[in-house]
């Protein structure tokens, strides 16, 4: 399978990289690149406008990708799938589209990505909504009663991640959905880290809105999806309007098209959407259940090898089944950015360092950041062994202080 990913090809003068940063962005297989090139080469037309063969072909394939993504997410139908640039835009479509009233409330967790935080802070300024925060248990357990207590009479929306990009934990979305709907609120789910690794079943979970970014699931950048439950998209005002969003116009009036088209203004990213469809077909052939187990086995290999190492501190749940795709850690006495650069330049191992777009979580705990290794279907045991070799070399080269550092204490407290 690795041969399908050109970024993993052998390069003159260097080893094949151990790419352990898929939680940020996955690699792209040849099949996706070919689908995008085919559009520009063979039928570079505008969908939904002209009637010539180029336009007809791109329209057919564009809607085919919509149907594929609907099937993959087990959504209510292709008309429930809106193409956007990324999950950030999808969340903004919901947040800016709901008819808020001053005093309405939105509930989030204390571990959300900035994309699921900053928007609500802006809406708190105008029109004046209120933000409530559900604090998650450090060990990864979830308390449904705590969620129920956090939902107030004026809570209009609960907006949470399904899988955290910070430590890999997942929330029980079906249980959350039942609690939220029992209290007459709506549920928006950030599915960016979940959809690449596990079976999503929107028909079962009944989430009102579900956001994904294809660049985390073998697809191209600049292509995302907002999936809506039956009736949910109709309640939203479009974020952008113009060409392709209307049935007709006069100089004084217009009629919006039904979803999903009213949300897809202007010329679309046809190559990106066709590439997204190819990525979905690739994932379906492999099977997300197989990917999840593969992730977990690699994570278990790293976790076992570093278990008991006093200077390595894990963030998040201790069991790999509770965070199969992510190993987030700090190294006592070593800056996370220095560690990432050392692994890249010294061992050709690519990881991410920093606060992972969840600055609020780190700021509240006084943690300056951490290193995050994330696993996906193209990673091998050899990749994890190179990660381990790099970590062990750093620990040998940079002896830690005899006493626990301030960061070590803070990480321990966060767990």
Q: What is the pLDDT along the chain (415 residues), one digit of tens a residue?
A: 899 999 999 888 788 999 999 999 999 999 999 999 999 999 999 998 899 999 999 999 999 999 999 999 999 999 999 999 999 999 999 999 999 999 999 999 999 999 999 999 999 999 999 999 999 998 899 999 999 999 999 999 999 999 999 999 999 999 999 999 999 999 999 999 999 999 999 999 999 999 999 999 999 999 999 999 999 999 999 999 999 999 999 999 999 999 999 999 999 999 999 999 999 999 999 999 999 999 999 999 999 999 999 999 999 999 999 999 999 999 999 999 999 999 999 999 999 999 999 999 999 999 999 999 999 999 999 999 999 999 999 999 998 754 445 566 666 667 6
- Domain identity same for 114 and 22: no
* CATH number assigned to the domain comprising residue 272: 3.40.640.10
- Domain identity same for 17 and 47: no
- Domain identity same for 118 and 267: yes
357 is catalytic: yes
Residue ending a domain, among 285, 319, 350, is 285
* CATH number assigned to the domain comprising residue 362: 3.90.1150.10
Residue ending a domain, among 240, 268, 285, is 285
- Domain identity same for 403 and 264: no
- Domain identity same for 261 and 336: no
- Domain identity same for 112 and 21: no
Q: Which helix (H) or strand (E) holds 151?
A: none
The residue segments making up the domain with residue 316 are 2-29+288-414
The tally of domains found in the chain comes to 2
Residue 413 pLDDT: 64
- Domain identity same for 197 and 301: no
Cis peptide before 260 (omega within 30 of 0): yes
Computed from CA positions of residues 37, 39, 44, 47, in that sequence, does the dihedral angle turn out positive or negative?
A: negative
- Domain identity same for 274 and 295: no
**What pTM did the predictor assign?**
0.96
Instruction: Mention every residue, 6+ apart, whose C-beta is less than 8 A from residue 331.
Output: 311, 312, 313, 339, 371, 391, 394, 395
- Domain identity same for 406 and 273: no
Cis peptide before 127 (omega within 30 of 0): yes
Nearest of 210, 191, 217, 197 to residue 276 by alpha carbon: 217
Beta strand 349-350 pairing with 326-331 = unpaired
- Is residue 116 within 8 Å of residue 88, measured between CB atoms? no
Residue ending a domain, among 234, 255, 285, is 285
């Amino acid at each position: 399978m690795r041969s399908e990913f050109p970024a993993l090809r052998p390069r003159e003068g260097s080893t094949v990289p151990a790419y352990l940063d898929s939680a940020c962005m996955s690699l792209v297989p040849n099949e996706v690149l070919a689908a995008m090139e085919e559009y520009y080469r063979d039928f570079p037309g505008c969908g939904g406008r002209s009637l010539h063969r180029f336009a007809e072909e791109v329209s057919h394939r564009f809607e085919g990708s919509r149907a594929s993504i609907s099937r993959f997410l087990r959504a209510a139908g292709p008309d429930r799938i809106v193409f956007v640039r990324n999950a950030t835009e999808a969340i903004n479509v919901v947040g800016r589209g709901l008819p808020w009233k001053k005093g309405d409330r939105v509930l989030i967790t204390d571990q959300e990505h900035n994309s699921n935080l900053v928007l609500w802070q802006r809406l708190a300024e105008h029109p004046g909504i209120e933000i409530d925060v559900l604090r998650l248990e450090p060990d990864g357990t979830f308390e449904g009663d705590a969620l129920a207590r956090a939902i107030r009479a004026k809570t209009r929306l609960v907006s949470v991640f399904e899988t955290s990009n910070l430590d890999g934990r997942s929330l029980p979305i079906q249980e959350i959905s039942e609690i939220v709907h029992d209290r007459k609120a709506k549920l928006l789910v950030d599915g960016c880290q979940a959809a690449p690794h596990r079976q999503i079943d929107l028909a079962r979970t009944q989430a009102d809105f579900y956001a994904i970014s294809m660049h985390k699931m073998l697809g191209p950048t600049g292509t995302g999806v907002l999936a809506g439950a039956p009736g949910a998209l109709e309640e939203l005002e479009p974020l952008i309007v113009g060409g392709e969003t209307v049935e007709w116009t006069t100089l004084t009036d217009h009629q919006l098209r039904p979803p999903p088209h009213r949300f897809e203004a202007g010329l679309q990213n046809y190559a990106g959407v066709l590439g997204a469809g190819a990525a979905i077909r690739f994932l379906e052939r492999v099977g997300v259940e197989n990917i999840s187990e593969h992730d977990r086995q690699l994570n278990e290999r790293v976790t076992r090898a570093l278990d008991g190492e006093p200077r390595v501190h894990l963030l998040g749940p201790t069991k790999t089944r509770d965070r199969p795709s992510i190993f987030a850690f700090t190294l006592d006495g070593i800056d996370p950015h220095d560690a990432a650069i050392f692994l890249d330049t010294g061992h050709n191992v690519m990881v991410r360092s920093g606060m992972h777009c969840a600055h609020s979580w780190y700021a509240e705990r006084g943690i300056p950041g951490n290193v995050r290794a994330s696993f996906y279907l193209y990673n091998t045991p050899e990749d994890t062994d190179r990660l381990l070799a790099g970590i062990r070399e750093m620990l040998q080269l940079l002896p830690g202080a005899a006493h626990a550092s301030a960061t070590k204490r803070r990480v321990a407290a966060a767990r």
